[in-house]
Amino acid sequence: MNFLDLTFNMQLTYQPFELELKHTFTIAKFSRSSTPLMLVQLHHDGFTGYGEASMVPYMGESYASATAFLQQVDVSRFTYPFDFEAILDYLDEIAPGQPAIKAAIDIALNDLNGKLKQQPCWQLLGSDPVQMPVTSFTVGIASPDVMVQKLKDAKGFKVVKVKLGSSDDKGLINTIRSVTDVPLYVDANQGWNDCEQALDLVYWLHEQGIKLIEQPFSKTDPDSNAWLTERSPIPIIGDEAVQRLPDVAKAKGIYHGINIKLMKSAGMFEAKRMIDEANKLGLKIMIGCMSETSCATLAAAALAPQCHWADLDGPFLTVNNPYKMPDFLDGRWVLNNGFGLGLSLTESVSK
Amino acid sequence: MNFLDLTFNMQLTYQPFELELKHTFTIAKFSRSSTPLMLVQLHHDGFTGYGEASMVPYMGESYASATAFLQQVDVSRFTYPFDFEAILDYLDEIAPGQPAIKAAIDIALNDLNGKLKQQPCWQLLGSDPVQMPVTSFTVGIASPDVMVQKLKDAKGFKVVKVKLGSSDDKGLINTIRSVTDVPLYVDANQGWNDCEQALDLVYWLHEQGIKLIEQPFSKTDPDSNAWLTERSPIPIIGDEAVQRLPDVAKAKGIYHGINIKLMKSAGMFEAKRMIDEANKLGLKIMIGCMSETSCATLAAAALAPQCHWADLDGPFLTVNNPYKMPDFLDGRWVLNNGFGLGLSLTESVSK
């Protein structure tokens, strides 16, 4: 069947969805117990592409902003074969910012593209499933008792990520080390503010088996981040400082690497360009997530084999994932050979 | 790591497991509501290969026979790289018959082999995931009301298989056709006994959209089966008549094709040889199953892209599958890129 010969009658549908978190999530600046998602579908001649926007409150998107955006999207402009660059330019013309809802459309388009081409997204994006990195499991700030319980939940993961920024970061690490010697990633979430103190802490963290540190200082303080990067024995990764493609080049000389998230990059197409740019510049690459379902997780997993570190624990931290859990073996997501994202809607067809 | 340089300390463990069926299952000769399985694991230096014997009662294997067999197996003879042919010869020397428990060992060895080689079994066996056929969903003999309910369960399947052999086969098909025009496979389970009557029924079934017929006459009556094959507009498939490799050549001229099941063939290694032999002889190939968990289903799915038809509905017909359900999209099993079988032990690591 040659789709070029068909009238391309694309349809867009979407539903708000409140994704509930397993644990109330506390990082340096706030707590919350659920995340608003917008689930998006693009339909074409019996094929459906699935996408998702995860709108964590501090990023500024909401059901209202997402709905207003989607109502302005003219899907008749999405003609096959898809010109992802032109489509992203078009979405950027509708409104600046709003990367999460743009990502939802981009992910749905990638899923649909794979289904029309009868290939998995990971294959179309040039990933080798064998190169899949282990995924870290994030543990938020909590009392020692709760921390220990959360670490028990992390059985089966090869790396744990811990959010720092409490009044006693060393005490938190000591609590973790009293129960497990699992490798750790540390996310400071811009919580540090003194260079010398930070460097002392970094040396101490190095002795504790910490493998990377995310965003130590404010994203608006490149000098402190660069100062620490120059001296740190642990890779320093820019997260909040790196949103879309132009931010990659700016990260050079300030961080050892960047954290790419689809909800920041406006989706898979730009994330792939950021990966290529980072490789060109010699920057290391982490791929991360927000609170997400299997849908956005599979979208990120399709690119993860091209990254050095993966932090894609979204579905493990939620209780009402509306899709089937992707396969997860030995601490790694397992890419499948389903067309598109390889997203299964339900656990069992017959139940 | 070069495994050839290591002392190869293989260990075998196994547990009986009663697999409960969703519906009491009735075919021409008996009914039952559960199936005894023997779950088998081969351990080596932190890697575990998983296998499974499904011992449907009419095949003659049992917990007792499986346990007696496993106790005679000297796993120190399973040296890597595995010589599957020599290992199967060794198992056949221990005892004739007992293909299900031999399959359990072979499947576990294949899973372990993939994990040691860091490749999926389907890749090692030369399958192309894109060629995966749809899987039929089996509906047993039941009252019209129950049949209709079972067909509702079959939503999401592209083909339904129906077991004939009741007093009113046409009535059964008419009941199905009153609610769905889904393509049908028919399994006569050796239930027919009059050639001319059978041919009339075959012509009628052809008009009803039946796509293949399994084992119309007794496996010990090659003449009637061959007579029908010569005249039937629908492919006639040998099932009970075809167990292991030597049966493939015997099927030539008697059936259009053969139904390969791992629990008959003593596992994946011999099933692959049967596929190659059938292709050489111009026989069509169906791959089927017994009541099975995700484990044996993934083992069969690894070979299914090399077959014309798949009837791998085991996990859909059971209620206590101890493993995570494999991905299933658009009526097809989705092969994944996990090493070995790609079997996930549980739905979620963190739950």
pLDDT tens digit at each of 351 positions of chain A: 344 444 458 999 999 999 998 876 665 556 678 999 999 999 998 899 999 999 988 889 999 999 999 999 999 999 999 999 999 999 999 999 999 999 999 999 999 999 999 999 999 999 999 999 999 998 877 788 888 888 887 888 999 999 887 778 899 899 999 999 999 999 999 989 999 999 999 999 999 999 999 999 999 999 999 999 999 999 999 999 999 999 999 999 999 999 999 999 999 999 999 999 999 999 999 999 999 999 999 999 999 999 999 999 999 989 999 999 999 998 999 999 999 999 998 755 433
**Paired strand residues for B56:** none
Could you tell me where the beta strands, DSSP code E, fall in A230-338?
Answer: 236-238, 257-261, 284-288, 309-310, 328-329, 332-333
User: In this structure, are strands B210-214 and B236-238 parallel, antiparallel, or unpaired?
Assistant: parallel
What is the pLDDT confidence band of residue B29, given thresholds at 50, 70 and 90?
low
Under 8 Å between Cβ of A91 and A105: yes
Amino acid B239: pLDDT:
97
Residue to substitute from B124, B325, B349, B351, interface A, most A β-carbons within 10 A: B349
3 state DSSP class of A185: strand
CATH code matching the domain that covers B3-122, chosen among 3.30.390.10, 3.30.30.10, 2.70.98.60, 3.40.50.720: 3.30.390.10
Amino acid A146: pLDDT:
85
Q: Could you read off the pLDDT of B105-163 as tens digits, one per residue?
A: 999 999 999 999 999 999 999 999 999 999 999 887 778 888 888 888 788 899 999 98
Amino acid A8: pLDDT:
55
Residue to substitute from A329, A335, A344, A345, interface B, most B β-carbons within 10 A: A329
Across the interface, which of A156, A344, A350 has its CB nearest the CB of B329?
A344
- Just give the CATH number of A3-118: 3.30.390.10
- Considering only residues B7 and B241, tell me which one the structure prediction assigns the higher pLDDT: B241
Q: Could you read off the pLDDT of B240-280 as tens digits, one per residue?
A: 999 999 999 999 999 999 999 999 999 999 999 999 999 99
- A123 contacts chain B (CB < 8 A): no
Residue B97 has pLDDT above 50, yes or no: yes
**Paired strand residues for A288:** A261
Six-digit token string for A268:
């898979």
Amino acid A270: pLDDT:
98
Name the minimum distance, in Å, from the CA of B328 to any CA of chain A.
7
3 state DSSP class of B100: helix
Name the minimum distance, in Å, from the CA of A294 to any CA of chain B.
12
Residue B327 has pLDDT above 70, yes or no: yes
CA-based nearest residue to B216, from B160, B253, B164:
B164
A123-333 placed in CATH 3.20.20.120 = yes
- A337 contacts chain B (CB < 8 A): yes
Six-digit token string for B92:
């056949």
What is the pLDDT confidence band of residue B26, given thresholds at 50, 70 and 90?
low
d(CA B315, CA B134): 15
- A46 contacts chain B (CB < 8 A): no
Six-digit token string for A270:
């730009």
Lowest mean pLDDT among A78-87, B31-40, B336-345: B31-40
As assigned by CATH, the class of the B126-333 domain is: alpha beta
Under 8 Å between Cβ of A325 and A315: yes
**Domain ranges for chain A:** 3-118, 123-333
d(CA A310, CA A212): 12
Q: Do A349 and B328 touch (CB under 8 A)?
A: yes
Lowest mean pLDDT among A140-154, B73-87, B337-351: B337-351
d(CA B200, CA B187): 16
What is the pLDDT confidence band of residue B65, given thresholds at 50, 70 and 90?
very high
pTM: 0.83
Residue B198 has pLDDT above 50, yes or no: yes
Residue to substitute from A336, A339, A347, interface B, most B β-carbons within 10 A: A336
- B329 contacts chain A (CB < 8 A): yes
- B316 contacts chain A (CB < 8 A): yes
Across the interface, which of A325, A336, A348 has its CB nearest the CB of B335?
A336
User: In this structure, are strands B136-139 and B159-163 parallel, antiparallel, or unpaired?
Assistant: parallel
Neighbours of B273 (CB within 10 A): 17
Q: Which residues does chain A have within 8 Å of residue B312's beta carbon, measured at their own beta carbons?
A: none
Distance from chain centroid for Cα B61: 16
What is the pLDDT confidence band of residue B28, given thresholds at 50, 70 and 90?
low
Give the single-character DSSP code of B215. -
Distance from chain centroid for Cα B345: 21
Most distant CA atoms of chain B, gap in Å: 65
Across the interface, which of A157, A315, A344 has its CB nearest the CB of B327?
A344
Question: CB neighbours of B308 closer than 8 A, spacing ≥ 6?
Answer: B133, B257, B284, B285, B286
Residue to substitute from A112, A122, A327, A337, interface B, most B β-carbons within 10 A: A337
Under 8 Å between Cβ of A326 and A152: no
- A347 contacts chain B (CB < 8 A): yes
Amino acid A347: pLDDT:
56
Q: Do B337 and A336 touch (CB under 8 A)?
A: yes
What is the pLDDT confidence band of residue B5, given thresholds at 50, 70 and 90?
very low
